[in-house]
């Protein structure tokens, strides 16, 4: 999987496979996760085919997003490039840096999304309107 949008890249977690006892998948701050983890949350029960999540960017927050069960489509937009990525492997996620619009959709019935964030929730860090996002990018460049 190649990521073409800026402020995003593939993150692969360490896996330890024990044929009879399952697979242990490991995420560590400063190793696979490029920041100190201050917040972890997960998304479940996206039963409706019309469900969409995200629709925002962050001014400063960094995150890594994983689909630990099932699959979903992640749309990334850095203001110049747009890309769709299917997340369907529990050990592969996407680093979502600041100033990156993202939307999640097309959730499988059994989808579980895990997100690790670099900071606590702060509503002032969110840009929730795409036109405002494009204006914001012009002010910082």
Active site residues: 56
Round to whole Å and give the CA distance between 60 and 98: 5
- Asked if 42 contacts 113 with a C-beta cutoff of 8 angstroms, the reply is yes
How many Cβ atoms from other residues are within 10 Å of residue 88's Cβ? 14
Round to whole Å and give the CA distance between 37 and 31: 11
Round to whole Å and give the CA distance between 18 and 37: 27
- By three-state DSSP, how is residue 124 classified? helix
Q: Which residues contact 8 (CB under 8 A, 6 or more apart)?
A: 76, 78, 94, 95, 96, 97, 100
């Amino acid at each position: 999987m190649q990521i073409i949008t800026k402020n995003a890249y593939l993150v692969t977690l360490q896996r330890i496979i024990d044929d009879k006892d399952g697979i242990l998948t490991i995420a560590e701050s400063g190793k696979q996760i490029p920041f100190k983890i201050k917040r972890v949350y997960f998304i479940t029960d996206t039963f409706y085919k019309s469900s969409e999540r995200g629709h925002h960017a962050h001014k400063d927050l960094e995150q890594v997003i994983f689909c630990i069960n099932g699959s979903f489509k992640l749309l990334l937009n850095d203001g110049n490039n747009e890309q769709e990525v299917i997340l369907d492997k529990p050990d592969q996620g996407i680093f979502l840096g600041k100033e990156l619009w993202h939307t999640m959709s097309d959730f499988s019935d059994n989808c579980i999304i895990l997100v690790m964030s670099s900071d606590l929730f702060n509503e002032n860090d969110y840009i929730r309107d795409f036109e405002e996002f494009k204006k914001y990018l012009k002010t910082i460049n």
